[in-house]
A and B are shown apart, each in its own frame.
Chain A
Amino acid sequence: MPRQPRSYVRPVEVLVPYVLVALSLLGGYLAVPGFLSSNHLSSLGQSAAYLGIIALGETLVLLLGGIDLSVPYMINLAAILVAGFQFSGMSATPDIILVILIGLGVGLGNGIGVALLGINPLVMTLGMNSILQGVALLYSHGSPLGEAPNAVTTLSTAWWHQIPDADILWLALTVIVTLVLAFTTFGRSLYAVGSNRRASELSGLPVRRTIVLAYMLSGLTATIGGLLLVGYSGQAYLGMGDDYLLPAIAVVVIGGTSIFGGKGSYVQTVAGALLITVIESILVTVNVNEDGQDILYGVIILAMAYFNQIAVSTSGIGSGTLGRTLGPFRGWLEPVRSRAEAEAALPEPSAGVGDSG
């Protein structure tokens, strides 16, 4: 019988973001009349589904210790292409299949660059984003044509009773991804590579294949996100993915997945997407301007990152947490020791870029 691998996911860390979602829903209920009406909840769920599905690939790549910055123009290109192919007379099924294949192909390109050529993922996907932007501009000549195929619009905006179709898709993807992460070789390898790539290589894990596959899945989910967004707005426009670059990463971080890889889960990202969507909705309905939203957004990311950082640096959330929270400031509280000694006694700060080489 194989030994049970150590847990990469701690129940309490999964629970915390969901508790925050519940609290923010409660806050919305108190602040905005009709916030918990079934119609509003359904439309919240629909928006959260777009964000959550886009962040799925980013979760996998971050678990690996990588990053995917090509998400914005992956989304935009998928949206422009699916509408453009429709305009040039392609029927819905080959249209959608072709766009999805292109998304997988771009992800493959990212994966090959990172895994086989050894290019830093930040730069590889940054460059890829620039290339995709150029392709999107050249293809559309600055003004995208066509409309989303009906199937895409239905998937994106239709509701089955009170449940948006997009949420059914999201739920299905969540279940699949969670099972894949927990039970397949690919899923286990993803955590292993994210924890320690060298050790994974020496253990004979298919490291390169895992990396390539993760980036392909990131291309796939960004493409699906692009399809959903074009289905929602009906037409494609340039820059429609720009608003998703930072949220896609932020949602993963807010959920508690470590950007250093090897720790976290997609279930946490789901909570992150729900939390951000609910809070944004509250802010919009109580008439907080874009400036206030931006500031609060940043504060939430900082707060959650700090919380997660504490959760990572201690062995859990328990009685010792407060003392360790004071860790960085203990040097100031203890006058006996010199500053240098106090600093030397502290653990290494996690000050590297996720995984930049």
Chain B
Amino acid sequence: MSTVPISTRPRRARRPPWHRAYTAAALALVLFVIYLVRNHGFGSIEALGITNAALPLALAAAGETFVILTNGIDLSIGSVITLSNVVCAVIAGNGHAPLAVAAAIAVGAGAGCLNGLMVSFARIAPLIATLATSSIYLGCALIVLPNPGGSVPGWLSSWTAGSAGAVPVAVIWLAVAIVAGWVILRRTSFGINLQALGGSESASRSAGINVTRTRILAYVASGTCSALAGVVLAGLTQSGDPTIGAVYLLDGIAAVVVGGTSLAGGIATISGSVLGAIALSLVSAVLLVSGLSTDYQYIVTGLIVIGALLAHTLQGRLGLRASRHVPASRGEAAG
């Protein structure tokens, strides 16, 4: 006599939206091929340069992905990167490097938590709440370190920006980010709740998901990822700089968009965002080896971002590969 085993594993809701990450992967591949042709080869030095530029952006973009998945937005990622960067450099400069890394990450998580509380409890629109806290975190960073300075021990640099043999450490971290992102989004209840919340808040509420906690955790995840980016940048530059995070705000959102995450929420892949960040980092490398002014970088990036979103919008409209109908919510087409 045998009993039918009852699976306790929850059924997967739907196939992950990998197809939306293909655009970023294809773009990164094309740019990489152009780079190979132009540069007549690819050595460990080139790999180090490109991946070191991509890693902080990829981390910032991965964090932003969690928030955009909830149909929110985090405009404070640049300031959180700056704040954790200066906290790390100042504390490490006083000779407490492990404490510095822990403090930087704690500060990032705390900053993200404050964002989440503002959005969930004060019910301020994420755009405005994170815009305001961005200003506050930047002010705090300026109090901690008004001018570039601080220092970081050699081991932290080699752990973030060094090479393990011919392989840059950053490559390992990028791979870790992709795997960790996949595990968190697809294999934890937090990730499943997050996708549900992005899909429909009222349905998630009805299904018994703690919407408030999930949303706050998304902002905490974003703050933590930005803090990691700040620590990586401290390792990369071996110092702290209160202006270092500014560029990562818009570039981070751009990488998420190129990665195929829907700004309407509910559809996201971390791997897409990481690949998007790699693609955007390759743009300047390709321009450099092509002998073009890096000023073109901004134009090309802008066109790529708009083009990527246009491609995703058209993809959605034509129903290509769409595993479910994505309603053109108030946003996708509105003013």
Contact = CB atoms under 8 A, between A and B. Distances in A.
Interface of A: 61, 64-67, 69, 113-115, 117-124, 126-135, 137-138, 142, 193-194, 197, 210-211, 214, 246, 249-250, 253, 259-261, 289-302, 305-306, 309, 313, 328-329, 340, 343-344, 348-357
Interface in B279-322: 293, 295-303, 305-306, 309-310, 313, 317
The 6 nearest A-B residue pairs measured at CB: A357-B332, A357-B331, A294-B139, A134-B298, A130-B302, A134-B299
Nearest to B258: A123
B328 interface: yes
Contact of A351 (B71, B132, B300): B71
A137 B284 CA distance: 15
A357 B123 contact: no
B136 A299 contact: yes
Nearest to B123: A349
Contact of B253 (A61, A126, A349): A126
Interface centre among B120, B125, B264, B297 (most CB of A within 10 A): B125
Nearest to A139: B295
B100 to A, nearest CB: 21
Nearest to B293: A138
B123 A351 contact: yes
Chain B interface mostly helix, strand, loop or mixed? helix
Interface centre among A64, A298, A348 (most CB of B within 10 A): A298
Contact of A353 (B71, B123, B137, B328): B71
Interface residues on B, range: 35 or more
Given A119-B309, A138-B296, A357-B332, A343 B142 contact: no
B295 A120 contact: no
A302 B132 contact: yes
Interface stretch (B43-51, B150-158, B205-213, B222-230): B205-213
B238 to A, nearest CB: 24
B254 to A, nearest CB: 7
B142 A290 contact: yes
B302 A127 contact: yes
Contacts of A135: 299
18 contacts: A118-B313, A120-B309, A120-B332, A123-B254, A123-B309, A124-B306, A127-B301, A132-B302, A134-B296, A134-B302, A142-B295, A197-B334, A249-B128, A294-B139, A302-B118, A348-B201, A355-B330, A357-B263
Interface string B111-154: 00000001111111111110111111111111100100000000
B305 A127 contact: yes
B335 A61 contact: yes
Contacts of A306: 122, 124
A80 B201 CA distance: 46
Contacts of B297: 134
B123 A295 contact: no
B237 interface: no
A134 B330 CA distance: 31
Contacts of A67: 127
B303 A302 contact: no
B186 interface: no
A164 B295 CA distance: 38
Given A134-B297, A291-B141, 16 more contacts: A65-B334, A67-B127, A129-B302, A134-B302, A142-B295, A197-B335, A246-B134, A250-B131, A261-B335, A291-B143, A299-B136, A305-B128, A306-B124, A353-B331, A355-B335, A357-B331
Contacts of B250: 69, 126, 129-130
Given A120-B332, A131-B303, A297-B135, A302 B122 contact: yes
B329 interface: yes
Contacts of A69: 250
B131 A352 contact: no
Interface of B: 70-73, 118-129, 131-143, 146, 201-202, 205, 208, 210-212, 215, 250, 253-254, 257, 262-265, 293, 295-303, 305-306, 309-310, 313, 317, 328-335
A292 B128 CA distance: 19
Contacts of A340: 208, 210
A357 B264 contact: yes
Contact of A298 (B132, B141, B143, B303): B132
Contact of B295 (A124, A138, A260, A295): A138
Contacts of A64: 335
Nearest to B326: A357
A253 B128 contact: yes
Contact of B72 (A193, A294, A353): A353
Given A129-B250, A295-B135, A343-B205, A328 B306 contact: no
A356 B73 contact: yes
B306 A113 contact: yes
A305 B143 CA distance: 25
Contacts of A137: 293, 295, 298
Contacts of B253: 122-123, 126
A123 B306 contact: yes
Contacts of B295: 134, 137-138, 142
B205 A344 contact: yes
A223 B124 CA distance: 31
Interface centre among A120, A214, A250 (most CB of B within 10 A): A120
B132 A295 contact: no
Contacts of A357: 262-264, 313, 328-334
A353 B131 contact: no
A264 to B, nearest CB: 13
A294 B146 contact: no
Nearest to B122: A306
A232 to B, nearest CB: 24
A213 B305 CA distance: 23
